[in-house]
Amino acid sequence: MRQKPWPIVILAFLHFTAPIFNMLIGYLISDSGIQEFVEMTFTSRQWMSLLGQFVLIPIAGLCVLQTKRWGYYVFLLIMIFIVFLNFRNYQNQYEFSLLTLLLIVSLNILVVSYFLIPSISRIYHDQNLRWWEQKPRYPMDLEVRVMGEKGEVKCQMMDISETGSKIDPHGMVLFTESSLKLIIPALDGEIQIPFEVVHSYQNKLGLRFLHTTESKKKLKAMINSLVATGAAPRTPIPPWAESLKEWWRTLITTGKGLLP
């Protein structure tokens, strides 16, 4: 899997570690010892405040990292609840001043506003836009067949992944029926994979596999065998440290990279 967009990863990390940093900052500005501060934190604060800081905020980070539709709405609900808790704590005259309240609420609004940006919101609602979830594609030069109820057409496979393939039908028109299968020769027989054509460019067809349990298992084993023999993906996946460094360099030099 490719690296998820770094802004999303970093925001998720900040939510995961927020309880630790909040405790650390609170300890540094207090006049208490470590044990006394920890005891005071968990005995003097209301349970809703503890729930928000130590449970809900990390859950919000998990929702951010998952990049799923359900997580998007759970994240927004948690952030709204956190803002409510901050106002409630201020009204009860404990934990922080008005200036601190305004800073915290402003930060929450800024984070929520980021996720309301259309280009960010769409990746949580449309799986096709989450390019980092796409399986690696491996170059392939293999004769395959497309089988339908009306017969078969020989094609040339140009690349393959666990979720799709690119083929060259040699100018032949594929059948228009819906029950098409890609037949891939393998060492232990054939792999038959139902598919749909998702795009066509310069007489080449992009296929999306509609796997059965059997075809998914067999194709995964085939690709694992390719990798074991040294096959490299068409687009190499850089190490995460190199990816982070490149993202940071692009952000600093061009100002781009805050949006996926």
pLDDT tens digits, 192-249: 999 998 888 888 999 999 999 999 999 999 999 999 998 888 887 788 888 899 999 9
Q: Are strands 164-168 and 204-209 parallel, antiparallel or unpaired?
A: antiparallel
Asked if 251 and 257 touch (Cβ cutoff 8 Å), the reply is yes
- Domain segments of the chain: what residues? 6-129, 137-228
Residue the block writes with tokens 């836009």: 129
Q: Secondary structure of 104-127 in the HEC alphabet?
A: HHHHHHHHHHHHHCHHHHHHHHCH
CATH topology of domain 137-228: Thrombin, subunit H (2.40.10)
Q: Strand (E) positions, the chain?
A: 138-148, 151-160, 164-168, 181-186, 189-201, 204-209
> What's the confidence (pLDDT) of residue 251?
92
- pLDDT score, position 135: 86
pLDDT of residue 95: 56
What φ, ψ does residue 5 adopt, rounded to 5°?
-55, 130
Low-confidence ranges of the chain (pLDDT < 70): 1-2, 93-96, 173-178
Provide the pLDDT for residue 151: 81
- pLDDT of the residue at 96: 64
